[in-house]
Amino acid sequence: MASRLIYPRLAALDPALLARWYVEERRSAGWIAAEVGRSSQYVRDALRAASIPLRPAGANKEVPVDAATLRRWYVDEGLSCAQIAARIRFSASGVAGLLARHGIPARRFAGSRPVVPDPGLVDTLRELHHQQRLPLVEVARRMGLSVDQVKLRMVRGGLSILPPQRSRLGLTAEVLTEWHVEQGLTVPEIAARAGCNQATVRELLHRFGVPHRRAPRQPDPRLASLTRELLEELYCRQRLTRAQVAAQLGCSVSRIAAGLHRHGIQPRPRGTRPDRPEPLPLTRELLEQLYVSERRSVADIARHTRHATGLVRQALVDHGDPLHQPSPRSPSPLDPATLRQLYVEQRWARSKIASAHQVPEHAVTIALRRHAIHRPAVPPPHPPPPAAPPDATLHTLYLKHGRTLAQLAQRFHTSVPIVRGWLLAAKVPITPRTSRASRADLPAETLQDLYWAHGLSGREVAEYLGAALPKVLRAMHDHGIPVRTRRRHHATIQLLDELYDDRQITDALARSGVPQRPQPGTIAERFPVPVPLGERLLGELYDELGLSARHIELLTGQPHEQILDALRAAGLKPRRNAGASPWRRRLLGELPSSPPYPAEAVTAAAPGDPVHTAGNP
C-alpha cells in the first residue's frame, strides 16, 4: 500500500521507472500492475509504447523464495497456494508448480489446516451404513444430505463405503414376481422392504423380465346410468342423433358413443339425419320445371331438392343436352372500343370501369383478356443524376485515400460511368484498365526458387507471394517453368513445349498464318501485336483440338477473357468449368512418369538460390 502512495498512477508509468522495474529488476507485468494499480495488459501496452521489448511467456523463472522457505510456509505454517502467491507476487498455479518442482507433496484437501471430522457424525454414519447396512441413498435421506456429502464425510472420518449388496438383498426373479405380481407391492414398497433404492428395483424388474403389475380397469361409474333400454328408446326408436341424446341427458357425445359401444348398439352411418326429410328425386320433369321453366340456378335447385350441386349438375347432363344449356345473358356493355378507350387511353383502373358500368370487377378482367387489350407499361421517370461533388473531394477520395470507381459510385448513389465523367471533368488522372501489357506478372526466378528449390506447392507459393493460384500457374506457364501434375506420380508439364510439340496444333496455326513463338515470356513480350481471332482458328483450336482459352492465349497473345468473348461472337458455346480440357486430358494420359524435375535442367543450388531451367537462363 505504501508503494501505491509513493508512486501515483500517472507517475508510475514513466518509461524510466518501467525500464528499471521490468529490465533491471526483472519484475513481471503482473507485479508492476499491482504496484501502480493498473491491469497487466495496460502495463504491457505501456512497455510497448516505451519501446521496451517484452519477455516471452515463462521467461521470468526467478522467484524470491527457495525450497526451504516454501516448505516452511506450506507444510509447517499451513499456508495455502494463494496465500504464498500473494507473498511472493506469484500466481497460485505457479506456486503449485514450484511445490511439484521441489518435491513437496500437496495437501489432499484445500485449506490451510486439515479438516477434523465430527466424532458424533462418524458414529452415526457407522451405525447406519455399517451396522444397519443401509444404502447411501437411505443414509443421505435420513441425515438430510446428498449422497456426495455423505461419501465425503465418510472418507474424512476414515469409514469405508460398502459395495452395493445386491446379492444379499435376495431380489431374485421369483421373489420379485411374488412381491410385485402376486402380492401387488409397488416399486417403493419393494425398495423399502429390500433396503435399496427404487432405481435398483426397476433395473432388476427389467433385467428379470418381470411383468409390470397393472391396476384392474374399473368401469366408468358415469356410464352406469346409460342403460341399454334408455339408449334403445332414444337412439333407435325415437331416431335421435347422438348429439341430441347427449343434450337431453346432459352429458357429452363421446360418453353416448361409449355407451352405445358398451351395450353393442350399432351406430347409424355417418351423414344420415333421421330428422331431415328425404331428398327429392331428380327426375326429368322436375329438372325441366325448375331449370328451364323457372330458370333457377344449379345451387338453388340443390337447396330445393336437398342434393349436392354436383349431383344436380350430373343429373342435368344425364337427362340430355337441351336441359344443360346456359341461361341467356344480357349483352355486356363492355365493348372492345369502350374498354380500349377507358383502360388504355384514359388509363382508368378496373374497379373504376366496373363501378361506372355497374358490373363486377372480374367481368372487366375477363373482357380485357377476351379482347386481348393490354395497357403498355410506362417506365418510371429516371431520376436526374446527383450533382458532382467538389473537385477537391474527388482528388482526396480517389488519389489520396485510394477509393475505387465502384466505391465512389456507391458513396454518391450513382453509377460508375457517371463517376468516371466526374473524374475526367475534374482532371483527375484515372488508372487505366488492365491490359496485356499492364497486367501484373511474377518474377520467374522467385517462382523457380519457391516451387522447385524449396519444393512448395502452387497453392503454397500463392500464399507466400500473396497472389491467387491461377495467377501463379499462368506466370509459370508463361515463363516456361515445368509444373507438377496431380494425376501421375512425379510427372511434369512444360506447357509451351507441349503445345508447340503437337503437330496438329502447329498445322492449325500455319493454316491461319499465326506465327509460332515458343520462347518463354509474357504474352505482351512474345506477341507485341496480338494475333486476330478468326472463326476458323477458334473452331480448330477450341472445338476440334479441345484447347482451353488459356492455351489459345499462349498461342495467340490474346487474353483469355477476349478469347471467350470471341467464341460467343462466333456462335461457339464455351465449355463449362468441368476440370481439364480435352487436349489436357489426352496429354496426361500419354504423359510418362518422370523424376520430380529433369536432371539436366537443374543445377546445384543452395537453399535460397534461384534455380534456372533449360532454355530459361
The alpha-helical segments, DSSP class H, found in 413-468 are 416-425, 444-448, 458-465
Task: Give the pLDDT score at 603.
Answer: 37
Q: Which amino acid is at 2?
A: A
Select the highest-mean-pLDDT range: 210-224, 515-529, 593-607.
515-529
Q: pLDDT digit string (tens) for 55-78?
A: 776 555 556 678 888 888 888 877
Range of weakest confidence among 38-47, 220-229, 426-435: 220-229
Angle between the N-to-C axes of helices 560-569 and 549-556, in degrees from 0 to 180, rounded to the nearest 10 = 110
Mean pLDDT of the 395-400 span? 87
Q: What are phi and psi of 46, to 5 degrees?
A: -65, -35
Select the highest-mean-pLDDT range: 21-25, 250-254, 348-352.
348-352
Cell output for 126:
457407522
Residue 50 makes CB contacts below 8 A (sequence gap 6+) with 15, 18, 19
Block residue for cell numbers 347409424 = 268
Task: Give the pLDDT score at 297.
Answer: 83
Nearest to 334 by CA among 350, 316, 314: 350
Q: pLDDT digit string (tens) for 89-139?
A: 677 777 887 888 888 887 765 444 455 567 788 888 888 888 887 778 778
Residue percentage of the chain with pLDDT more than 70: 79
Mean pLDDT of the 520-533 span? 86
Q: pLDDT digit string (tens) for 138-186?
A: 788 888 888 778 888 888 788 888 766 543 456 778 888 888 888 888 8
Q: Which residue has the higher pLDDT, 323 or 385?
A: 385
Task: Give the pLDDT score at 616.
Answer: 31
CA distance 501 to 479: 17
The pTM score is: 0.34
Cell output for 46:
505501456
Task: Give the pLDDT score at 466.
Answer: 81
Task: Give the pLDDT score at 592.
Answer: 60
Per-domain residue ranges for the chain?
A: 2-101, 119-208, 221-262, 277-328, 336-370, 391-425, 444-601
- Per-residue pLDDT band for 213 (boundaries 50, 70, 90) equals low
Do 483 and 476 contact (CB within 8 A), yes or no? Answer: yes
Q: Indicate whether 489 pLDDT > 50.
A: no
Task: Characterize the bridge pairing of strands 483-484 and 492-493.
Answer: antiparallel
Q: What are phi and psi of 132, to 5 degrees?
A: -85, -10
Q: Indicate whether 444 pLDDT > 50.
A: yes
Task: Give the pLDDT score at 143.
Answer: 83
CA distance 346 to 339: 10
Mean pLDDT of the 514-542 span? 87
CA distance 425 to 218: 98
Q: What is the mean pLDDT of the chain?
A: 78
Residue percentage of the chain with pLDDT more than 90: 0
Buried b (16+ CB within 10 A) or exposed e, 420-454: eebbeebeeeeeeeeebeeeebbebeebbbbbbbe
